[in-house]
Amino acid sequence: MLDHYDGWEAIAQAWREGLTPDPLLSVSEWADQYRMLSAKSASEPGRWRTARTPYLREIMDCLSPSSPVERVVFMKGAQIGGTEAGNNWIGYVIHMAPGPMMAVAPTVEMAKRNSKPPDRRKRDALRPDRSGPLA
């Protein structure tokens, strides 16, 4: 019916691509693929590598939508990556499974520090096309 219009194939192709489901990634896989650590927040800036903190893999994967786990309790020491694992989860939800989320911090100061808007480079990385790593 509409196949005689110029550009019909491009429209049909875009329609098919729109129906393609998002890739099924765990939080740790998402972090390895998309997460970038800034020089301000990490002693080793650059791409996130779960292999560097293998003890966080199972915790992050239990936070994935495909996990049957309903409650995650993370008791930890200081400076072992817990905040970054939480940031990976929040980034995953923003990027792959948008929906309501509430992040609670132990102090008002920490909540203010973690809720500052990202700089322009980070904001631009949150494009919906998922083409680049997230900072």
CA dihedral 86, 88, 90, 94 (to 10 degrees): 180
**pLDDT for 76-105, tens place per residue?**
898 888 989 999 999 999 888 888 888 888
**pLDDT for 109-122, tens place per residue?**
988 887 777 665 55
128, pLDDT greater than 90: no
Residue predicted with more confidence, 117 or 63: 63
**pLDDT for 21-53, tens place per residue?**
878 899 999 999 999 988 877 788 889 999 999
Tracing tokens 């132990």 back to the chain, one arrives at 106
